[in-house]
Amino acid sequence: MYVRRKKLLAMLYTCVSVAICVSVAIVPALADTVIYCANAYNNNKEVIEFNLDEGTSQKIGDLSFETQAIDLDPTNGILYYFDFRLSGSDELGGFNPTDSTNISVANYPADLPIALKTMAVNEEGDLYLLSNDDILYMIARNNGELSPIG
């Protein structure tokens, strides 16, 4: 067990050290404990799956665009991800880890007044975004509409 844990920590450190921002989503419904890492900066858009029980990792696909935040929706198994850009439009996308397909959810105007701090999905599949000015938004998964809630 110690060797497997040491190997896993080394794999996670590699993912963290390569990425400026690493986002992790935990999948509770699978037989094994699995987490996903979005190593997605500097044109590196890969999604890495870590199997904590087996102590293994593998690249399972690439995101459509670089991301600053990612989380797993436990109701549909989709990894939702968001990118705030200093120039150009912001985007919300989804990634299906089962078949490595990307889903375009929304493109936002370049003047979107939100700088992203983090994103999360609750157990019911509600998607939330926290801005740098600490305003919490709910995001509609079907069209990306942002609704401030606090």
Q: How far apart are CA 89 and CA 111, in angstroms?
A: 8
Which DSSP helix (H) or strand (E) runs through 130? strand 127-131
Q: Please give the model's pTM, rounded to 2 decimal places.
A: 0.76
* Euclidean distance between CA atoms 29 and 21, whole angstroms: 25
| Measured distance CA(90)–CA(114) in Å, rounded | 9
Among residues 98, 63, 99, 97, which one has the least CA distance to residue 81? 63
pLDDT in tens, the chain (150 residues): 334 444 544 444 444 444 433 345 555 555 667 788 886 666 778 888 888 778 888 899 998 887 878 888 888 889 998 876 655 677 888 999 999 999 989 887 766 666 677 788 888 889 898 887 888 889 888 888 889 887
Q: What is the pLDDT of residue 21?
A: 35
pLDDT of residue 41: 64
Which residue carries 């299906």 as its tokens?
A: 96
State the pLDDT at residue 40.
Answer: 63
Please state, in angstroms and rounded to a whole number, the distance separating the CA atoms of residues 114 and 11.
33
Per residue, the 3-state secondary structure of 43-91, as one string, reads CCCEEEEEECCCCEEEEEEECCCCCCEEEECCCCCCEEEEECCCCCCEE
